[in-house]
Amino acid sequence: MGRKPTLSRDDWIAAAADWIAEHGVAALAIEPLARALGLSKGAVYWHFASRDALLQAVLERWEAQGTQAIIELVDAMPDSAQHAEQLIRVVTRTVTDEGSQPARVVRLQYALWCAASDPLVGPSVERATAARIDYLARVLEQAGLAPAVAADRARIGYASYVGMVMLQATRGRGRGVGLDAPSLVDSYLAMLLAR
């Protein structure tokens, strides 16, 4: 008789993120998650002291991958005057691409925003939102916009991004519409970068 498979800390974080993307933050609980993975609930406690500790790890990974990693990727691109366009193309590709990975990213983003009143989720969403808007304002300034204009456009641009995520997350559930990525991105960039 073989041993049941064990999951690493990273595996539990990924499984919890997928669970949240599918069922929402409020539905995250150790026992149903472990059952869905074919494991006992005790298996998670090797890595996390509680459901809240697991959720905190999901949030930390979401901030690192969905905000910091993207900022670092764009900052590493050589032409800083093009960073605004590169940022928009990277971010909108995540929202508009087809396939299971982009869909999970979109559903997780949507679920976390919907749970922003949760005392663990709220601060993470606020930090990510502030960092994203600040970074967008910075790259818009690098593209030649005045600081006040860049700040206003960053807020408008981020609100548009939130709307795109909402449309994609609800697509197929009777409430949203698909997004035509090429024309949408071109229009979005023209709006943000207009002098």
Q: What are the tokens at 136?
A: 């967008």
% pLDDT > 90, the chain: 66
Tell me the pLDDT band of 191, cut-offs 50, 70 and 90: confident
Task: End-to-end CA distance of the chain: give it in Å, rounded.
Answer: 69
What pLDDT is stored for residue 1 in this prediction?
Answer: 41
Tokens 């601060």 found at: 123
What pLDDT is stored for residue 26 in this prediction?
Answer: 97
Instruction: Indicate the helix (H) or strand (E) that contains 135.
Output: helix 121-142
List, for residues 34-73, the tens digit of each pLDDT value: 999 999 888 999 999 999 999 999 999 999 999 999 999 9
Average pLDDT of the chain, as a whole number: 89
CA 22 from chain centre, in angstroms, equals: 14
Helix (H) and strand (E) counts in the chain = 9, 0
Domain ranges of the chain: 9-193
What pLDDT is stored for residue 137 in this prediction?
Answer: 97
CATH top-level class for 9-193?
A: mainly alpha
Rounded Cα distance, 128 and 121, in Å: 11
Mean pLDDT of 172-195: 70
Mean pLDDT of 177-191: 74
Q: Which of 48, 3, 8 is nearest to 29 (CA)?
A: 48
List, for residues 97-138, the tens digit of each pLDDT value: 777 777 889 999 999 999 999 999 999 999 999 999 999 999
Rounded Cα distance, 113 and 96, in Å: 18
Tokens 């071109």 found at: 186
Q: Which of 91, 192, 194, 92 is nearest to 151 (CA)?
A: 192
List, for residues 13-31, the tens digit of each pLDDT value: 999 999 999 999 999 999 9
Rounded Cα distance, 150 and 4, in Å: 54
At residue 26, the 3 state secondary structure works out as helix
What pLDDT is stored for residue 71 in this prediction?
Answer: 97
What pLDDT is stored for residue 93 in this prediction?
Answer: 81
Are 80 and 141 within 8 A, CB to CB? no
